[in-house]
Chain A
Amino acid sequence: MKDSFKILSPCGILGYGFPDESFERGLEMHPDAIVVDAGSTDAGPHKLGAGVAIVSRLACKKDLRRLILGGWKLGIPVIIGSAGGSGGRVHVEWTLSIIDEIVKEDHLEKMKQAIVWADIPKDAIKESMGKGEVVPLGTNVPPLTEQVLDETTAVVAQMGIEPILEALDTGAQLIICGRAYDPSPFAAIGVKNGFPLALSYHMGKVLECGALCCDPGTTKDCMMGELYKDHYDVYPTNKERKCSPVSVAAHTFYEKDHPYLLHGPGIVQDLSQCTFKAVNDHRVSVYGSKIEPSDGYWIKLEGARLKAYRTFVIAGVRDPLLIAKIGEVESLVKQSVEKQYEEIDKDLYKISFINYGINGVMGDLEPLKDLPHEVGVLFEVVAKSQELASAICASLRSTFMHYGYEGRKATAGNLAFPFAPSDVEFGKVFEFSVYHLMKVSDPCSFFPVEVRK
């Protein structure tokens, strides 16, 4: 068995890109595996609900080709986590179609591939719900009902290391995982090669964001991780970046609800006793990562459902008389439109205004009350159908444009539209309808491994 094991993480999200020089330099250091995370829920529920990717096909192919050719040249495995962004069947198939093009164009037919699917059948979820083994992940997550589940497009779950270990056992050189806990693909290959679970998971947590733990930090550059028996090292392959004990320690804060207790599938990482030591100005050693099995093996379910259709308008207001009472005018405009459509049930649509320059970003949470000389107004209508959203929004726009509020001097129009036409049909709006933990008896049962021909 090797004394150390090197994993090259090219970037924080497959398709975000990375410099050729950094990647080549990484390959020259002879990594034992290339692992990349492709997933995120950051961009909202639309990707999962609508079955689309986070990155463009062009960007994904450009990155994938370099990873696959690099791995093939060195004879090392390449693992992709949360393929296609959300990691559902449609997202994995999108990734596979790109891989098939690369295989054909670069004559890689001999490369063995395995897929780990992460789609959870609704019947299985309902069965678990009946046993009380599906719980919301957070105090403000709405309860899951059978109706909500039926309305949900598709449900994925974040896999742990176990199904990925199974895929590695097939001898595949390219492993395409559906939705995975971000560190899992990194942790799996470390564990497969005999390194401790705690270090493998913690190193995976750092590497899955690419070079984000560096100074300057970015998801668009390469990071190397080296596992040892009692610690791990991380360092950027780009000489322009540095990483320090503080920058690596601080990274454990990133987009998690707790700085040192991290919950994953079947595990809880405890990083409270970690020590971070500088080896030099671009390399850090980490000791003391701990891990415990969680109380029961729970997988995180994610699902999105269609909520409404949206039509919106962006306009500017420069008139100080209007700016002084813009909230009041907006509410009068809204009332007027609701009256114009009295025959339509008010539950079928909703009108909303965002006033950039006043409280556009924070809404009711905005503590400052100063008024600017100019306001960007975004108004939208969300409704049960696109047709209804657009009809109401058109009336909202014309009513707002010409509304004769008290004290008005500018009787020709209230809004400056940057575009013609002014109304934009956005399409479907989704919401996260499933964000729950589900108890499983076997960590592999919902994540079947399929070897591709």
Chain B
Amino acid sequence: MTRLVDLAKVLRSKNSGPFQITLDVLFDDRAKYERVKNSGIITKETVAKAYHLGLDDITGIVFFDPAMGVKITYNRKISSGTCFDRDVYGAQQHAPLMEFLVP
């Protein structure tokens, strides 16, 4: 098993508009990308578990072969920059995804 962070070239989180956060995992090697894609470890269920989200909070998981990447988008509990938000740009929400184990 290898940690996802050790296979990815880029692993990040960012706002996608004020109401969503999007996680990107990008690879610079097709074999690594295919390994992760085919492993089936990135699903609504696994992401929901790691991020304490409901399945409905996750609005999309899309693999994009030409860019060798996967994008996961989920609804924020609190919209960007208002009372009790903790991460206005959503730029530090990626750490739990780093720990996903890839067979």
Contact = CB atoms under 8 A, between A and B. Distances in A.
Interface string B42-73: 00000000111100110110101011110101
A429 interface: yes
A430 B85 CA distance: 11
Contacts of B60: 257-258
B38 to A, nearest CB: 18
Contacts of A310: 83
B63 to A, nearest CB: 8
Nearest to B27: A246
Contacts of A350: 83-84
Interface in A240-286: 246, 249-250, 252-260, 272, 274-276
By CB atoms of chain B within 10 A, which of A138, A252, A354, A363 has the most? Answer: A138
Given A257-B73, A259-B62, A354-B86, A432 B18 contact: yes
Nearest to A354: B86
Nearest to B10: A250
A45 B17 contact: no
A371 to B, nearest CB: 17
B40 interface: no
Interface string A289-333: 000000000000000000110100000000000000000000000
Contacts of B15: 41-42, 255
Nearest to B81: A44
Contacts of A138: 17, 19-20, 59, 75
Given A308-B83, A364-B52, A258 B71 contact: yes
Given A42-B89, A258-B71, A274 B83 contact: no
Contacts of B69: 250, 253, 259
Nearest to B80: A44
Contacts of B59: 138-139, 257
Contact of A435 (B18, B56, B86, B95): B18
A361 B62 CA distance: 26
B92 interface: yes
Contact of A45 (B18, B24, B84): B18
A431 B82 contact: yes
B84 A352 contact: yes
A253 B66 contact: no
A36 B80 CA distance: 25
Given A139-B59, A256-B22, A257-B22, A431 B79 contact: yes
Interface residues of B, number: 45
B28 interface: yes
A246 B81 contact: no
A385 B64 CA distance: 48
A310 B24 CA distance: 33
Contacts of A42: 15, 80, 88-89
Interface string A32-62: 0000000001111110000000000000000
A362 B19 contact: no
A253 B17 contact: no
Interface string A129-151: 00000000111110000000000
A365 interface: yes
A360 interface: yes
A282 B38 CA distance: 32
B73 A258 contact: yes
A382 interface: yes
B80 A41 contact: yes
B67 to A, nearest CB: 4
A254 B14 contact: yes
Contact of A253 (B24, B50, B53, B56): B24
Contacts of B16: 255-257
B80 A45 contact: yes
A279 B67 CA distance: 17
Contacts of A256: 16, 22, 71
23 contacts: A42-B15, A44-B88, A139-B56, A140-B19, A246-B28, A246-B67, A246-B68, A249-B68, A253-B69, A254-B14, A257-B20, A259-B71, A272-B64, A276-B66, A352-B84, A362-B92, A362-B93, A362-B96, A364-B52, A365-B53, A431-B79, A432-B79, A435-B79
Given A138-B17, A250-B67, A361-B92, 7 more contacts: A42-B80, A44-B85, A250-B24, A257-B73, A275-B66, A362-B95, A367-B50
Q: Which 4 A-B pairs have the closest CB atoms?
A: A44-B81, A431-B82, A249-B67, A259-B64
